[in-house]
Amino acid sequence: MQTRPAPEAATLIGQGKVEELAAAVVSGEADVVIFDQDLSPTQQRNLEKLLDTKVIDRTQLILDIFASRARTREGRLQVELAQLNYLLPRLAGRGVQMSRLGGGIGTRGPGETQLETDRRRIAKRIKRVEDELEGVRSGRALHRRRRSAVPLATLALAGYTNAGKSTLFNRLTRATVLTDAKMFATLDPTVRPLVLPTRRRVLMSDTVGFIRNLPTTLVKAFRATLEEVNEAALILHVVDASSPAAAEHTTHVLKVLSEIGAHEIPQILVLNKVDLLDTADADPATLQRRLLAGLGSAEGDRQPGEMRAVAISAATGAGIDQLLTAIDEALPLDPVVRTTLDLDQGDGATLAMLHEFGRVLETRYVGDRVEVEVEVPESLERRLRQRS
């Protein structure tokens, strides 16, 4: 840790601290120096030269972890895009020494440098990956539209990395998503059905874990993944209640939710890992007060005091019944409404859906159109209106 009035433009930490760090590298025989802060390309090059060892910053470390966790094609594309955007301004060539010289006397001197060639190649690759990810995003949007055609609410698990979201997801849906005590073990969203105590069926989505100061390149790269949170009717905000930094983690998650436009969605505060706490400390109200006491008051953010809190243990199953009841009570009711829809006669899929999920009262054929008077759930009526 270092306290100084402003970062040093050349090295971030200043010449004296660089000399002190260089001595520590030598005495500790360190292979790499990691900065818990983003370094500019110039700062990174200067530090590597002065310390004579590999230097990486916070973003590069997170990207390396992400790269080791990516399993699906989408996950690998997202990580590659973030890595390429991070690498592009950090390319360092050898100038004219690496240039491709002209063809002889009378030419205009050195040709294109290797650095310029690498930059162009990376820019092309970034464009290709962005196009592929846009295809993934379109496919995910199509899946969401298909899911939204059926009036099922969607729940999204959100929380700090390693809070136990995937363990809870498996406990609720009987899925077999990878669970591991590692950062970012889940990179790809998984959607599974869940039946609530009132026999209502909902869909649950497991998402990537958040972290403080999430790099902008990652937020952009994982846009397709984070959209699952934006589309949810209810967010289960999972907190590791046994962590000393639980309040700080909650603040960071609320901040990221606000950044992606999901802060207005109703939330339930899921206080996980209470099996690791003393019995006296596992009371939801006590845990909620502890979180609230250490929480920064970012203006416009919803505070945990305004949310319903449920204490659970995803590992042992304690409190799961109370959580399911809370979800049932928090989800907005879907009243049946009476409406008249004007459809194309060839739209057999919508007509079949109305018969399956609603009560058709009257059908009138006018030319190539069909007017259907029907009683359907409000959510289905709203989605059909948006499509027409």
Decide if pLDDT at 97 tops 50: no
- pLDDT tens column, 183-242: 554 556 677 888 888 777 788 888 767 777 766 666 666 665 666 688 788 999 999 988
Decide if pLDDT at 147 tops 70: no
Q: Per the structure block, which two tokens stand in for 323?
A: 């959580």
Separation CA 172–CA 325 (nearest Å): 12
| pLDDT at 15 (0 to 100) | 92
Q: Which of the four pLDDT bands, split at 50, 70 and 90, describes residue 292?
A: low
Q: What Rg do the C-alpha atoms of the chain give, in angstroms?
A: 27
Q: Which helix (H) or strand (E) holds 19?
A: helix 15-28
Decide if pLDDT at 318 tops 70: yes
Between 359 and 336, the higher pLDDT residue: 359
**Are 236 and 203 a contacting pair, CB within 8 Å?**
no
Sign of CA dihedral 90, 93, 95, 101: negative
| pLDDT at 60 (0 to 100) | 87
Q: What is the pTM of this model?
A: 0.66
Averaged pLDDT, 24-43: 93
Separation CA 2–CA 24 (nearest Å): 15
Separation CA 79–CA 64 (nearest Å): 9
What CATH number matches the domain at 133-330, 3.90.320.10, 3.40.50.300, 3.40.640.10, 3.40.50.2000? 3.40.50.300
Domain definitions of the chain by residue range = 133-330, 336-387
Decide if pLDDT at 303 tops 70: no
**Are 100 and 112 a contacting pair, CB within 8 Å?**
yes
Averaged pLDDT, 330-358: 81
Q: What residues contact 94, with CB distance under 8 A and at least 6 apart? A: 114, 115
Computed over every residue of the chain, the mean pLDDT equals 78
